[in-house]
Amino acid sequence: MNTTIMLFLLQDGITNGAIYALLGLALVLVFAVTRVILIPQGEFVTYGALTYASLAAGQMPGTAKLAFAMGLVAFAFDLYAARKSLHWQRIARAFALNVVFPGLVLAATVWAAGQRPPAGINLVLALLIVAAIGLSLYRVVFQPLAHTSVLVLLIASVGCHLALQGLGLLFFGAEGQRGPTLLNASAVLGPLRFTGQGMAVYGITIAFIVALWLFFGLTLYGKALRATAVNRLGARLVGIRTTLSGQIAFLLAATIGALSGILIVPITTLYYDSGFLIGLKGFVAAIIGGLVSYPLTAVAALLVGIVEAFSSFYASNFKEVIVFTLLIPVLVLRSLAAPAVEEEKD
């Protein structure tokens, strides 16, 4: 192997790794706040990417309608939950969040789909659509299960993944899509060419890592979110609104997922089901980080990206086998390091 190939592989690995890092961060965030292991994170990626690509191609993405439909269901859940004590303020808030917000986004998307607006507007619309879906997903699926065990939440999470992936096929078809780049600039350094897109990937990843780390480590609200994860009842007793924490976590995760998708769709062709594998690699990183540490997750994600790049060069057939098998020794080490005297409750 010569140095040039090695540098290329490294660059490729780091770019992919940065995306995995973003996803890993979102997974850690959701798990830390709600104890949900977010398998549908991959669908947020594909939804974001393909919505952005569809808008750029002048098509109306089905995800906008889904966001509105899920908003309606979420509002129905809110109404049902509040049936015994109808406070107008609360209903109005739920209406604004679940019906007005996705409704406005849907209207804007319908308008934009015919106009071929600039990439920036497509980006914002795609993020808003997926964010709305994430928000309603929490309300409809996970909020009613919030008191159950991690395992029940995990199975529900898998159910969401199945439904959303099936819907993805319905919305975007079986063909892959690519989207336009966000930044066209590029720079050459030695044998390596740095594209504007690649730089955007690095920059956004680093910004998110630092922001999340600071938010959870230093702010009172970040600590409140973490408290919710450890003990919901305890958090409520000290005045933290646990459902709000969950909503924020899902909102952030959906946005991060969609953003990752939009960042990679100009680089690689994405299919309706690509997200699952991409998300799982984010997982490998998140788990190496123990589902708690942001910096460790980011480092692990880079490692996963690099291992993937090198194994696709040396043993491309066994790329996936190698990446997923990497997880097992990590899981074992994790378990050995924390042999908690745990007593699962039903």
Partner 1 sequence: MRERWPLIIFAAVMVAVPSIPGMPPFWIVLLDNIGLSALVAMGLVLLTGVGGLTSFGQAAFVGFGAYTTAVLSANYGVSPWLTLPLSLLVAGGAAVLLGLVTVRLSGHYLPLGTLAWGLGLFYLFSKLAFLGRNDGISGIPPLSIGALKMLDPGTIYYAIWIAVLLSALLTMNLLDSRTGRAIRALRRGHVAAEAFGVYAPSAKLLVFIYAAVLAGLSGWLYAHFTRAVNPTPFGAQAGIEYLFVAVVGGAGYVWGGVLGAAIVVILKEVLQSYLPLLLHGEGQLETIVFGILLVALLQLAPTGLWPWLTSWLPLKPAGKKPNTSLTLPARERPTDMPDLLLQIDNARKQFGGVVAVNNVSFDVQAREIVALIGPNGAGKSTTFNLITGVLPATSGNISMLGRPIGKAPPQDVVKLGIARTFQHVKLVPDMTVLENVAIGAHLRGHAGALSSMIRLDRADEAKLLAEAARQIARVGLAEQMDQLAGSLSLGQQRIVEIARALCVDPVLLLLDEPAAGLRHMEKQRLAALLRELRAGGMSVLLVEHDMGFVMDLADRIVVLDFGTKIAEGTPAAIKTNPEVIKAYLGATA
Interface residue with partner 1, options 107, 110, 170, 211 (CB under 8 A): 170
Determine how many CB atoms are found less than 10 A away from the CB of residue 72.
Answer: 14
Footprint of partner 1 on 178-217 (CB under 8 A): none
Show the 3-state SS of 190-234.
CCEEEEHHHHHHHHHHHHHHHHHHHHHHHCHHHHHHHHHHHCHHH
Q: Which is nearer to partner 1, 150 or 187 (CB)?
A: 150
Q: Which is nearer to partner 1, 181 or 311 (CB)?
A: 311
Measured CA to CA, the distance from residue 58 to residue 65 in angstroms comes to 16
The verdict on 148 binding partner 1 (CB under 8 A) reads yes
CA 123 to centroid of chain Cα atoms: 15
Footprint of partner 1 on 304-323 (CB under 8 A): 317-318, 320-321
> How many helices (H) and strands (E) would you count in the chain?
14, 2
The verdict on 175 binding partner 1 (CB under 8 A) reads no
CB of 125 to partner 1, least distance (A): 24
| Selected range binding partner 1 among 112-120, 190-198, 227-235, 333-341, rule: CB under 8 A | 333-341
CB of 167 to partner 1, least distance (A): 6
CB of 312 to partner 1, least distance (A): 13
Measured CA to CA, the distance from residue 313 to residue 307 in angstroms comes to 10
CB of 154 to partner 1, least distance (A): 6
Selection from 50, 47, 56, 45 nearest residue 261 by Cα = 45
Q: Which is nearer to partner 1, 137 or 200 (CB)?
A: 137
The verdict on 237 binding partner 1 (CB under 8 A) reads no
The verdict on 339 binding partner 1 (CB under 8 A) reads yes
The verdict on 161 binding partner 1 (CB under 8 A) reads yes
Measured between alpha carbons, how far is residue 293 from residues 143, 165, 213 in Å? 25, 29, 9
Dihedral of the CA atoms 112, 117, 119, 124 (nearest 10)?
A: -40
Length of the chain: 346
What residue ranges bind partner 1 (CB under 8 A)? 37, 141, 144-145, 148, 150-152, 154-156, 158-167, 169-170, 173-174, 280, 283-284, 287, 317-318, 320-321, 324-325, 327-328, 331-332, 334-336, 338-344, 346
